[in-house]
Amino acid sequence: MIFAHVNFLTNKKLTYFFIRDIIGQVVNGTGKDMNAKQQIAELLENSGENYISGSAIAEKLDITRAAVWKCIKQMEDEGYEIEATKRGYRLGERSDALSRSAVLKYLGEDSSYYNIEVFDVIDSTNTYLKKKAPSYFSGNPENKTGNGAQWYVAIADSQDSGRGRMGRCFVSPSGTGIYLSVLLKPSLSAQQAVKMTTAAAVAACRAIEECTDKEPKIKWVNDVFVDGKKTCGILTEASVDLEGGGLDWAVIGIGFNVYEPEGGFPEEIKDIAGAIVKDKRRDLRSRLAASFLKGLREICSDLKAKEFASEYKKKSFLIGKNINVLRDGEKIPAFAFDLDDELHLLVRYEDGSEEALNSGEVSVRER
Ligand code: BTN
C-alpha cells in the first residue's frame, strides 16, 4: 500500500512515499523502568505537603542517602523546586517539573487510554511519533480500532528541533513549555483531517480554562491566544492511504508556552508569542497536559458533534475582522465573515467574491 505524508495545514504533500512495513514492532512506552530520579519525583508528588526523610526514600528505593541527595540536586537543576528541611524533602509550591507520574496522576482513571512517554529533551515529539507510527499500528491489531485504541503520546520538557507550520521551527526551551504529540488512528477522510487540528485547539482552550483563570481565544485555524498573544501552536501531520482516501494515522502536535522563558522570548517571535501565566504554579504543566489529553479524546470521540463546532466558533476571534489571506507569498485583503459547520473560514475579497478556506495562513489586518 502506498501512503503520502501530508501536512494538513500547509496542504503540502511531502516529497516522499513509502511502502508500509508489514511486520512492525509493537511499541509500548508504558512499561519502561523508572530510574531513581523518576521514583523520587513520584514519591514527592504523591506525598503532597508532607515531608519524606532522606532515609525513608533511600530505604524505599534501596539506594544510599548520598545517592538520594545526588538525585535531589540533579532534580533541582532540572526545574524541580524542592524544599529540604530537617524533616526531609517535599515539593515546593512553585515546583512545576513535567513528569510522567504527575501526568498519569492527573489523568486518573483515564490514564489507561494513553501510552505515554515523557522526555527531558527530544528533537521533536512529532518526528518521534511519525517514526513510530507504521509499526505501532501494523503490529498491534488492538491499535487499529480507531478511537477505542490507546493513543501513543510523547511529551517533552524541551525540543532541540521543534517544528512549526510552513516549515518553520518552533522555539521549545526547557522548563517553560509543554511539547506534546499524540499518535492516533482517526476514522476521517483526508479532507476532514483539518478537524483534528480544530479539535486540538478547542481541547487546548478547555485545558487552559480548567487549569488557570485565563480566557483563551482561537485564531483560525489553530493558534490559541491568551491576552492577545499566541500561547499554543498546533501541527498536524498524517499518512494518507491514497487508495482508500482515509487516514492511516495522524500525529497531532501542540506546543504550549506556559511561562515566559528566562530572558524573554527570542527577538523574532517576541511581538507575537506570549505565556499563559506569569508565575510558576505547582504541577501546572502536568495538569495542562492531562487536561488537554482528556479533552482531545472526548472531542475526537464525536468530531461531528454540533457542540464542538459551536464551541470553536464561540472562541474564534477572527469573525468580523479584516484579514489578509497569505497565499504564495502574497497578502490578499479580505473580510472574515463567518465559519461554516465544517469550520471553514468564510471570507469575502475586495472584488466581492467569497471563498470557504479549508486551511492556510491568515493574519489580522491593521486598519
Ligand atoms: C505552529 O505554531 O507553527 C505549530 C507549532 C507546533 C509545535 C508542536 S510542539 C510539539 C510538536 N512537536 C513539534 O516539533 N512540533 C509540534
Residues 287-306: what's their mean pLDDT?
92
**Ligand 1: does its nearest atom lie under 6 Å from the Cβ of 165?**
yes
Q: Which residue from 254, 258, 268, 296 has its CB within 8 A of the most atoms of ligand 1, so it is best to mutate? A: 254
> Ligand 1 centre from 164 Cα, in Å?
5
Q: What is the pLDDT of residue 124?
A: 98
Residue whose CA lies nearest to ligand 1 atom number 3 = 164
Q: Which residue from 170, 221, 231, 272 has its CB within 8 A of the most atoms of ligand 1, so it is best to mutate? A: 170
Q: Provide the b/e sequence for 176-202 (b: ≥16 CB within 10 Å).
A: bbbbbbbbbbbebebebbbbbbbbbbb
For 128, other C-beta atoms within 10 Å of its C-beta total 21
Residue whose CA lies nearest to ligand 1 atom number 2 = 233
Out of 45-54, 135-144, 199-208, 339-348, the most confident range is: 199-208
Annotate the chain with three-state secondary structure: CEEEEEECCCCEEEEEEEECCCCCCCCCCCCCCCCHHHHHHHHHHHHCCCCECHHHHHHHHCCCHHHHHHHHHHHHHCCCCEEEECCEEEECCCCCCCCHHHHHHHHHHHHHHEEEEEEEEECCHHHHHHHHHHHHHHCCHHHHCHHHCCEEEEEEEEECCCECHHHCECCCCCCCEEEEEEEECCCCECHHHHHHHHHHHHHHHHHHHHHCCCCCEEECCCEEEECCEEEEEEEEEEEEECCCCEEEEEEEEEEEECCCCCCCCCHHHCCCECCCCCCCCCCHHHHHHHHHHHHHHHHHCCCCCHHHHHHHHHHECCCCEEEEEEECCEEEEEEEEEECCCCCEEEEECCCCEEEECCCEEEECCC
Q: What is the pLDDT of residue 131?
A: 95
**Ligand 1: does its nearest atom lie under 6 Å from the Cβ of 159?**
yes
Residue whose CA lies nearest to ligand 1 atom number 9 = 255
Q: What is the pLDDT of residue 186?
A: 85
**Ligand 1: does its nearest atom lie under 6 Å from the Cβ of 235?**
yes
> Ligand 1 centre from 281 Cα, in Å?
23
Residue whose CA lies nearest to ligand 1 atom number 16 = 253
Rounded mean pLDDT of the chain?
Answer: 85
Site of grid cell 526547557: 174
Q: What is the pLDDT of residue 10?
A: 37
Q: Which residue from 8, 122, 163 has its CB within 8 A of the most atoms of ligand 1, so it is best to mutate? A: 163
Give the model's confidence band at 47: pLDDT under 50 very low, under 70 low, under 90 confident, else very high.
Answer: confident
| Joined grid coordinates for residue 131 | 517514526
* pLDDT of 18 higher than 70: no
Q: What is the pLDDT of residue 154?
A: 98
- Determine the residue type at 136: Y
Q: What is the pLDDT of residue 34?
A: 66
> Ligand 1 centre from 295 Cα, in Å?
19
Out of 26-35, 149-158, 236-245, 268-277, the most confident range is: 268-277
Q: Which residues contact 120 (CB under 8 A, 6 or more apart)?
A: 78, 156, 157, 158, 174
* pLDDT of 330 higher than 70: yes
> Ligand 1 centre from 106 Cα, in Å?
23
* pLDDT of 189 higher than 80: yes
Q: What is the pLDDT of residue 30?
A: 34
Residues 283-301: what's their mean pLDDT?
95
**Ligand 1: does its nearest atom lie under 6 Å from the Cβ of 253?**
yes
Q: What is the pTM of this model?
A: 0.83
Partners of 230 in the β-ladder: 225, 273
Q: What is the pLDDT of residue 32?
A: 41
Q: What is the pLDDT of residue 321?
A: 94
> Ligand 1 centre from 48 Cα, in Å?
32
Tell me: the pLDDT tens digits for 96-127? 888 898 999 999 999 999 999 999 999 999 99
**Ligand 1: does its nearest atom lie under 6 Å from the Cβ of 150?**
no
Residues 285-306: what's their mean pLDDT?
92
Q: Which residues contact 136 (CB under 8 A, 6 or more apart)?
A: 24, 26, 27, 143, 152, 183, 249
* pLDDT of 271 higher than 50: yes
